[in-house]
Amino acid sequence: RVLRGRPLDLAGRRVVVSAGGTREALDPVRYLGNRSSGLQGYALARTAAARGAEVTLVAANVALPDPAGATVVRVESAAELREAVLAASGEADVVVMAAAVADFRPAARHDAKIKKSDGEPEPIRLAKNPDILAELGERRRAGASGSGGPAGSAGAAGPGGSAGPAVIVGFAAETHDVLANGQAKLARKRCDLLVVNQVGEGRAFGTPDNAATVLVAGGEPVEVPLGPKEDLADAVWDLVAARLA
């Protein structure tokens, strides 16, 4: 069976996709956040379901309707996103971290609303958030101990296996030295694929189109020209399916 021209090449596969952008609370009414719309992550979830996958979508502050065929877990902060992704990834074949995770959070969350006072405002102190993508890669490396496989191998992992997801996909937004920064990030975070977007220069958030270079561990980069976010999603799933095969 083929749905809207797509192969069912992810049938029987469990995939986890994170989407949107985290919000880090400063007080009960304010947060630090980012401009991620969630459109790319939702396109990934929708297309994976259309290709037969069992999809868990971890959505951080996304104002979009639930994609057909996906189980949606809604989260707000990086800490909540981490919990949801790690819980779902234990059984997953593939994890795609499309969410924009805040690198920092306010070091303290005020219980009461911060009030204006007569003096100068206090500076906001920040604390570092855990890197979820790096943690997934590190867990897989540790869990696969003894197998000796490189980070890029889709070898021993599988559903319920302790070795972690067979394929881990990261995203990166870079403003300069896009490919060099991307290659370093791919290696540092031990992921199999890294979808690198160039940001800035008038490229808008929340648009339906995207262009990217997909860096492949142990392989040649794949250029995906500007087009609908579903096309980039399908290009990612093509590469994922090839690594799962």
Contact between 59 and ligand CTP per CB under 6 A: no
Cβ at position 244, least distance to ligand CTP in Å: 19
Chain residues 102-121 in contact with Ca ion, contact rule CB under 5 A: 103
Contact between 223 and Ca ion per CB under 5 A: no
Q: How far is CA 51 from CA 15, 86, 95, 158, in A?
A: 11, 23, 16, 18
Range in contact with ligand CTP (rule: CB under 6 A) among 53-61, 139-147, 171-179, 205-213: 171-179
Q: Which is nearer to ligand CTP, 78 or 233 (CB)?
A: 78
Cα separation, 79 vs 75, in Å, equals 9
Residue 122: what residue type?
E
Contact between 170 and ligand CTP per CB under 6 A: yes
Chain residues 180-239 in contact with ligand CTP, contact rule CB under 6 A: 185
Among 34, 61, 129, 210, which one carries the catalytic annotation?
34
Contact between 42 and ligand CTP per CB under 6 A: no
Cα separation, 129 vs 82, in Å, equals 10
Q: Is 168 labelled a binding residue?
A: no
Q: Is 205 labelled a binding residue?
A: no
Q: How far is CA 20 from CA 60, 62, 138, 140, 177, in A?
A: 5, 5, 23, 24, 25
Give the long-range contacts of residues 153-161, CB within 8 A, separation 24 or more.
Answer: 154/192, 154/243, 154/244, 157/93, 158/93, 159/14, 159/91, 159/92, 159/93, 160/90, 160/91
Pairing outcome for strands 94-97 and 104-106: unpaired
Contact between 129 and ligand CTP per CB under 6 A: yes
Contact between 131 and ligand CTP per CB under 6 A: yes
**Quick one: what does residue 212 bind among ligand CTP, Ca ion, none, with the CB cut-off 5 to 8 Å set by partner type?**
none
Determine whether 34 is an active site residue.
yes
Contact between 177 and Ca ion per CB under 5 A: no
Cα separation, 93 vs 121, in Å, equals 48
Range in contact with ligand CTP (rule: CB under 6 A) among 6-14, 28-36, 126-134, 207-215: 126-134
Nearest-10 Cα torsion for 139, 17, 82, 244: -10
Q: Provide the annotated binding site.
A: 103, 113, 130-133, 171, 185, 189
- Known catalytic residues are 34
Where along the sequence are the contacts to ligand CTP (CB under 6 A)?
Answer: 78, 97, 99, 101, 103, 129, 131-133, 170-173, 185
